[in-house]
Homo-oligomer: A and B are copies of this chain.
Amino acid sequence: MAGRFWWLVEKQFDNLFRLRVRVWAMKIKVAVLGATGMVGQKFIQLLADHPWFEISALAASEKRVGKIYGEEVDWIVSADVPECVRDMEMVPMDPKYVDAELVFSALPSGVAKEVEPKFAESGFAVASNASAYRMAEDVPLVIPEVNPDHLQMIEVQKRRRGWDGFIVTNPNCTTIMLVISLKPLMDLGLKTVRVASMQALSGAGYPGVPSMAIMDNVIPFISGEEDKVEEEPLKLLGKFDGEKVIPAPITVSASCHRVPVIDGHTEAVWVEFDRDVSVDEVVDAFESLKPLDLPTSPEKVIIVRKERDRPQPRLDRDEGNGMSVVVGRIRKDSWGIKYIVMGHNTVRGAAGASILNAELMVKEKILG
């Protein structure tokens, strides 16, 4: 059978070709700070086979230094720790032990506050998922498809702080889905936003939420979350004037809730505009948001579902390998438009967001 013959040829050819490519490619060395947590694991999973980056170091808290990653981690995101890091010895979170050009930070905010500046000062590029410096005046808070020009703030940061390196941050996981959907609405005259989130368990890390607390339950509170969702969009959608960001003239009010879902934040959004806006205009706006030509960039940034019961986290969270944001149920009410937006919180909302920022920096020749 011809099918079977070509299948054998293809398998051999693939192996040969990929091998050669791997040998010739010079990748950028990257480290992960906070490698054993939920987001740290997600970083490793997404970087394990990355075409531009290779993991050269895993940094962890003191008690884990010197231990073998594969033996120490409580790996929860797939069957096995990727081979490339399984036997890696963890190093301290100190620039002098880290051999890399770029560090991805999956640290909790308190630790990030101390550690990230040390790396930036020592000349590292820091792509951080932590909230510590997101709202700092000279630190870019970036979503590549939304405000790539904010990366220019890096120069301001280096100048002001006298650092050789720098910190670039991505937003909170709930903010990021919301803002990707708000970006195309800015041109329609967006004024106000109300958002009720139904957030996944992975957003709380590991061990995170006890099963006894969330089975058959909703917890209508997530510490610090509503403040972040109300503040970060103004910076992300604001204008960089060469020195700092002028916040976008919109107001956001958030109500954040935890639901028994593993991955994928679902958000019910109400938006008002300074004029009458139709459902069709909103659909067109969503679909007009362009993807970037980067390895982690999805083919479609926003996928608009027309079914009456979509998006749903379990069905839609892996779209674009977890990097697409899916919207649906776009409808008019007395004051404006309401819709649902959903995205993968540990991919597009965390590790994938930092990696996409890093890829953008490579393309912009800030890195590599």
Contacts and interface: CB of A to CB of B under 8 A. Distances in A.
Interface of A: 1-4, 6-7, 9-10, 13, 17-18, 21, 24-28, 38, 51-53, 76, 78-79, 192, 194, 196, 198, 201-202, 206-221, 251, 253, 255, 257, 259-262, 264, 266, 268, 270, 295, 308-316, 318-319, 328-329, 333-335, 338, 340, 342, 362-363, 368
A26 B4 CA distance: 9
Contacts of A209: 210-212
Q: Copy number in this complex?
A: 4
B7 A295 contact: yes
A51 B11 CA distance: 11
A1 B54 CA distance: 13
A199 to B, nearest CB: 10
Given A209-B211, A212-B76, A212-B207, A220 B295 contact: no
A270 B253 contact: yes
A214 B18 CA distance: 38
Contacts of A316: 79
A253 B217 contact: no
B334 A198 contact: no
Given A1-B52, A216-B216, A253-B335, 11 more contacts: A3-B53, A6-B51, A7-B295, A78-B315, A78-B318, A79-B316, A79-B319, A206-B210, A216-B261, A218-B264, A255-B270
B251 A220 contact: no
A313 B196 contact: no
B309 A220 contact: yes
B251 A334 contact: yes
Q: Most chain-B Cβ atoms within 10 A of its Cβ — which of A25, A211, A253?
A: A211
B3 A28 contact: yes
Nearest to A214: B211
Contacts of A1: 26, 28, 52, 362, 368
A261 B214 CA distance: 9
Chain A contact residues, majority secondary structure = mixed
A362 to B, nearest CB: 6
A18 B10 CA distance: 8
B257 A268 contact: yes
B219 A309 contact: yes
Nearest to A316: B79
A110 to B, nearest CB: 20
A27 B207 CA distance: 42
A81 B266 CA distance: 22
Contacts of A208: 210-212
Contacts of A201: 211-212, 215
B218 A368 contact: no
Nearest to A303: B79
Contacts of A4: 51-52, 362-363, 368
A38 B21 CA distance: 40
B259 A218 contact: yes
A3 B52 contact: yes
A211 B221 contact: no
Contacts of A198: 198, 218, 257, 259
A267 to B, nearest CB: 9
Nearest to A315: B79
